[in-house]
Structure 1
Amino acid sequence: MATYKEQLQKTWHAYEKEHGSVPATARDAVQWGVERGLISIPEVDPFAKLSSDMADALREEYATDAQGRRYRVNHAVRVSKAGVQYTFWAIMTDAPREHMQKAFIQRREQIVGDCVQLATDVEAYNALKIDQPAIPMLFDFRDDVEERRFWSAGEAAAA
């Protein structure tokens, strides 16, 4: 039997096949799949939903320090115990150094993983479209980071 994610992927591909190869929203595909009985509306554990919503809210909370830097207040560390993954949150101003170090390392690893996957995706696309100019992708972000910080500082000063 297909996993939940495989069912969603199968529904997406069926939707795409019926509607043609055009960009579409996941919501449109989900509604279409539910209407055709390909997927069911899940029963939701209210505590799981609230936990997910809280994690989203914690991730989106920012503060500004004395130097005018806007920083993320709450930081998460993922830990696996007995095959179960837990996410522990802490407020940066009060968090132990060890927690923050793990949080920063894990976030950096996420970025690296995203970059590896992006490089692979770009290479695969370019290989599929050899009749078109290759889409270049650079991974030295130093200039991008400095430019974003410069413009963010200017926007903060203007506010």
Structure 2
Amino acid sequence: MSYNEQLQRIVKKYEDAGNPLPATAHDIALWAIEQGLWEPQRSTVVDRCAEEIARAMREEHITDPQGRRVRVKHVATVERNGRQAAFWADMRTAPREHMEIAFQQRRQQIVGDCRQLKWDVDSYNQNHNAGEDLQMVFDFTLDLEEIEALAAIA
């Protein structure tokens, strides 16, 4: 059983114990620890630290010379020595190849998020929506133009 499946089983036990959803992940985690269903392993602690460092790097921004607030650190997942790993770099000093990979991979994440959103909306409309279908527009051109126009005014 995978680690995710183990965590999903903990959530099921949480529900079976009479704790209703919706609940916060924090509440479920506290319950799981109190029940002795989860305890940190060294690898879990290291993974958690790495996740927090990655989150902090994602949130580091600067204002560029044109006044845009931009992310400084970017991740690219590449294969090195036969193993795949996520490497972070600062866009001000990163090789162009790193940035090209990072930007393409981020774009693919956005496409994946849009695909999942489309599936979710389609499933809701077909299986749970008693009213008019909810509509999603996946062309973000006008959204981006509007954001940039508002930024130019500010």
Same fold (TM over 0.5): yes
Give the corresponding residue for 2:22: 23
Letter in 2 for 1:72: R
Q: CA deviation at 1:77?
A: 0.5
Unaligned runs of 5+ in 1: none
Give the corresponding residue for 1:42: 40
Q: CA deviation at 1:153?
A: 4.8
Q: Distance in 2 between matches of 1:50 and 1:35?
A: 22
Q: CA deviation at 1:105?
A: 0.3
**Matched-pair identity in %:** 45
CA distance 1:113–1:68, shift in 2 (3 Å): same
Q: CA deviation at 1:110?
A: 0.5
- Calculate the TM-score normalised by the size of structure 2: 0.83
Q: CA deviation at 1:41?
A: 1.7
Q: Distance in 2 between matches of 1:104 and 1:119?
A: 23
Give the corresponding residue for 2:107: 108
1:105-148 CA-to-partner distances (Å, cap 9, x unmatched) read: 00000000111111111111222214233222221111222223
Q: CA deviation at 1:80?
A: 3.0
- Structure 1 segments, 4+ long, off by >6 Å, are none
Give the corresponding residue for 2:98: 99
Q: Distance in 2 between matches of 1:83 and 1:24?
A: 41
- Calculate the TM-score normalised by the size of structure 1: 0.81
Give the corresponding residue for 1:13: 12
CA distance 1:23–1:150, shift in 2 (3 Å): farther
1:87-119 CA-to-partner distances (Å, cap 9, x unmatched) read: 111111211111111111000000001111111
Unaligned runs of 5+ in 2: none
1:58-92 CA-to-partner distances (Å, cap 9, x unmatched) read: 11111111110111111111013466331111111
1:2-43 CA-to-partner distances (Å, cap 9, x unmatched) read: 2211111122233345334x4221111222233334x31222
